[in-house]
Amino acid sequence: MPKNRKDNWFFTALLIAGLFLILLPARSSAGVFKKKSVVMGTDLEMIVSSTDEAKADKAFASVENEMKRIEDEMSEWKEKTFVSAINNNAGIRAVSVPSDLFKVIWAAVTVSKLTDGAFDITWASMRGVWDFSPGHERVPSASEVKERLKLVDYRDIVLDEKKNTVFLKRKGMAIGLGAIAKGYAVDRATQILAKEGIRDSIVKAGGDMRVQGLDNGKPWEIGIKHPRKKELLAKFGLTNVSVSTSGDYERFFIKDNVLYHHIIDPRTGFPARGAMSVTVLAPDTMTSDALSTALFVLGPDKGLELANKLNGVEAIIVDASGKMRISPGITLK
């Protein structure tokens, strides 16, 4: 898949430094409406440019409903979801799933193949070994990790395209879509806004963002902050692109001076150590979401090499020493 630089014109943006996406305060011009809520266990923020506030409110409500629907289908934490059914039937039988869930799992496996398993939704087979929730933090022993790691292997996910079924080959295996489902949900949100007549919007769920259309005729301004510092260090003017950030500071704890975070390297079973933060720009948010996590695990050298191979994909990586590395389609100011 050779890279076509013409696809990347919109990335020739203003970048100063730094990393994690934040929305800059929208201009106070009339016709910009905002909504904040919590869905899929994360902060959802929508900003739309519209002439009609009632239309914006209706669209916001439709998006929230859709996100709740996706959570009820794809969460690995709720009991009655299809993902839980897949996990509960690991080693027993294939489970028939809705077509959008099948599509997300298919995309996840595609990214696993592309990254030689650095991205792997069966990381969830390690549930309980690691715990990052406040008050329950735990560092497992190397032998415990080694034992459970045997269950982590995307090649043991059996997908039947004709029947839309998913089967995990071995008992004890589990999948978790924490690195990809939010991106899919953000894409759905943007589609719903468009269907409701809103063409200019930003939808941001946690670290995953879709920037669609324009802000009063100009590209939307997106800010990025450094993974270790408070201040805003980067600014982009963007349109029609998805931006996702994975960081070691999102879910973590520190024990004996070591930072343990939630992005697990399937080769070791321990938190990936190559980066502090990875931002990926891609044509859609499911892709940017999966790739930001994948590149985080791959680390800066291999991560940038992969970004460079993929059409419409750019990356900004803060490596483990705090140095920023960027793919060639991004121009530093």
Position closest to ligand AMP via CB: 178
The entry of Mg ion, ligand AMP, none that residue 325 binds, CB within 5 to 8 Å by partner kind: none
The entry of ligand AMP, Mg ion, none that residue 153 binds, CB within 5 to 8 Å by partner kind: none
What's the min distance (Å) between Cβ of 245 and ligand AMP?
8
The entry of Mg ion, ligand AMP, none that residue 82 binds, CB within 5 to 8 Å by partner kind: none
Which residues here bind Mg ion, judged by CB under 5 A?
Answer: 179, 289, 292-293
Identity of the residue, 266 or 329, whose beta carbon is nearer to ligand AMP in the bound complex:
266
For residues 128 and 99, the answer to whether their CB atoms sit within 8 Å is no
Which residues here bind ligand AMP, judged by CB under 6 A?
Answer: 119-121, 123, 176, 178-179, 207, 246, 250-251, 262-264, 266, 289, 292-293, 297
Identity of the residue, 207 or 213, whose beta carbon is nearer to ligand AMP in the bound complex:
207
CA 258, 262, 267, 272 torsion-angle sign: negative
CB atoms within 10 A of CB 301: 12
Write the Ramachandran bin of 312: left for phi over 0, alpha for psi from -120 to 50, otherwise beta: left
Identity of the residue, 212 or 293, whose beta carbon is nearer to ligand AMP in the bound complex:
293
Identity of the residue, 196 or 252, whose beta carbon is nearer to ligand AMP in the bound complex:
252
What's the min distance (Å) between Cβ of 197 and ligand AMP?
30
Phi, psi of 61 (to 5 degrees): -65, -40
Q: How far apart are CA 250 and CA 282, in angstroms?
A: 21
Which of 236, 326, 233, 205 is closest to 275 using CA atoms? 326
In the numeric block, which tokens belong to residue 14? 């203003």
Position closest to Mg ion via CB: 293
For residues 222 and 210, the answer to whether their CB atoms sit within 8 Å is no
The entry of ligand AMP, Mg ion, none that residue 297 binds, CB within 5 to 8 Å by partner kind: ligand AMP
Please name the residue that has the structure tokens 């930003």: 202
The entry of ligand AMP, Mg ion, none that residue 120 binds, CB within 5 to 8 Å by partner kind: ligand AMP
Q: How far apart are CA 228 and CA 190, in angstroms?
A: 30
What's the min distance (Å) between Cβ of 263 and Mg ion?
9
